[in-house]
């Protein structure tokens, strides 16, 4: 019985360490990382949507001009 409890505790500790649920540094930290999208990346995504037929050429041109500030 004691062996089963020890194995369960060990499994929880390993799972917690893997998932980052436990903090052994004295407190919880929240890190918010905001990924800004570059204009180049937005243009690539827009072109990909056009190439896949998701948006029309008119919509592609309108959004492209908007991104380029035209």
Q: Where are the domains of the chain?
A: 35-70
DSSP string computed for 1-50:
-HHHHHHHHHHHHHHHHHHT----SSS--------PPPHHHHHHHHHHHH
Q: Mean pLDDT per 10-residue run, the chain (70 residues)?
A: 64 58 59 76 94 96 93
Confidence (pLDDT) at 49: 95
């Amino acid at each position: 019985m004691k062996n089963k409890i020890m194995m369960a505790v060990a499994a929880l500790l390993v799972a917690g360490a893997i998932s980052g649920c436990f903090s052994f540094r004295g407190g919880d930290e929240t890190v918010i990382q905001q990924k800004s999208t570059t204009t180049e990346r937005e243009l690539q995504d827009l072109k990909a949507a056009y190439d896949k037929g998701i948006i029309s050429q008119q919509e592609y041109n309108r959004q492209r001009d908007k991104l380029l500030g035209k």
